[in-house]
Structure formats: C-alpha cells, structure tokens
Amino acid sequence: SQKIEQNSEALNIQEGKTATLTCNYTNYSPAYLQWYRQDPGRGPVFLLLIRENEKEKRKERLKVTFDTTLKQSLFHITASQPADSATYLCAHTTGGYQKVTFGIGTKLQVIP
Amino acid sequence: EAQVTQNPRYLITVTGKKLTVTCSQNMNHEYMSWYRQDPGLGLRQIYYSMNVEVTDKGDVPEGYKVSRKEKRNFPLILESPSPNQTSLYFCASSLGPAGEETQYFGPGTRLLVL
C-alpha cells in the first residue's frame, strides 16, 4: 500500500538559513501533494499544493518541488524566522481525490 | 469570517456513553472530512463527505458514524466510545475534493474516554 514518510521528526535551523523538509512516498506518484503547517494544539493550515505535472511551486518565502523519479517532494522556507517554528505536514491523495493520507510531520525549530 | 467550528473543544466521557462532536462550516463547501490525530501516527481520515447525504469511509472508520443532512454541518458520532478513541479530532472542509483543494481545518476537539 502507498506510504508517505517525512524525513525526520525534528529539524533545528539557524534564523536566516533555508529550511528544507522532505516528504517521500512509495509506489505510485500521487496526483496532488499538499503541505500544511500545524502549531501546537491547533488545526493544520494549508500552505501549498503541487500537481504531479508541476516541478515547482512558490509562495512568498515558500517553495515546493515534486520529483516523481525520486518519489519525493521538498519543502523549502528561505530566510527562516523564529515565527516559522511549527510542525509541517505533507499529504497526498490515495485513490480518489477525496481520500487524503498525511505524513506524521516534521517539527521545525528556528533558532534566533 | 470564513471558518470551521467544532464543539465541544474538550470532552471527557466514559466507555459506552454515546457522544456527538459537531462540525459546521460557513464557506458553502461541498466536501467535508473528519480526522483523528495521534502521536506517532499523524492525521488519519475517518470519514469524508462529498455532498449532502453522500459520505464514505476513510482509513479508520471503525467505531464512528457520520451524517450529512445539511451542507454546512457534518457531525461525528461515537455510539459506544472506547478508550482507544481517545484522540484529537479535526473536522475539515474544502470547495472541491480534499486532495485537490485547500482544506480548512477546525480548531480540534480533544476527547478522553475513560
């Protein structure tokens, strides 16, 4: 069955640097892959969606790439700030676009 | 303000006592979902709905029921709660299918079943 894995549970990075988070999937390429931000005790907030036929998507300091050969999506935050500290979740559809599977998330800590 | 609301936010109950968690959205979205979030397991989809009276199972539907009688509301029903249903629950809505569109999540309901 399809699995979605995020590369590590925690990532610490110095303020101002670029944070790169990884999302890997097995088997088939999802048609859509989404990234969300979640703060402690709160619901996830949608950030970006990338389609299978798109290589890259940007939104302000955020960038998502989708490599179907490596079966991987990378999520970048440039010029990271302490306010970017949160858990970041990737998600993809599994057989029918209503069903969504989430990774367990990567907790990002930006150190001043 | 566009939002998804859930009630209650916190609930402590005992095994076997039926409960309902309400979810309401004011964005006229057709698609709604329920998720549970557990440490080490992430968010898992329980049920989803494509429109009024149209619902289907997600990955972990056992022990849960849903109904969609009105477009804006999507209650989650636990007819006989058990301790393994202790979790953080989120409702979400989207204009189109959840995987294709922005999902808007509610604030969460933290449930403890004793």
Q: How far apart are CA B93 and CA B1, in angstroms?
A: 15
User: A39-64, pLDDT tens digit by residue?
Assistant: 999 999 999 999 888 889 999 999 99
Q: How near does any CA of chain A get to the CA of B17, in Å?
A: 25
Cα B43 from Cα B36, distance rounded (Å): 6
* Nearest residue to A2 (alpha-carbon basis) of A97, A95, A85: A95
Do B99 and A42 count as a contact with CB atoms less than 8 A apart? Answer: no
pLDDT (tens digit, 9 = 90+) per residue, B26-45? Answer: 999 999 999 999 988 889 99
Closest chain B residue to A34, measured at CA: B99
Interface contact flag, A98 B102, Cβ < 8 Å: no
pLDDT at A33 over 60: yes
Facing B102 at nearest CB: one of A41, A46, A102? A46
* Min Cα separation B15/chain A (Å): 24
- Closest chain B residue by Cα to residue A51: B100
Half-sphere exposure of B27 (CA within 13 A, CB side): 21
Other CB atoms closer than 10 Å to residue B95's CB: what's the count?
14
Q: What is the pLDDT of residues B79-97, one digit of tens each?
A: 999 999 999 999 999 998 8
Which pLDDT tens digit goes with each residue over B3-28? 999 999 999 999 999 999 999 999 99
Write down the mean pLDDT value for chain A: 90
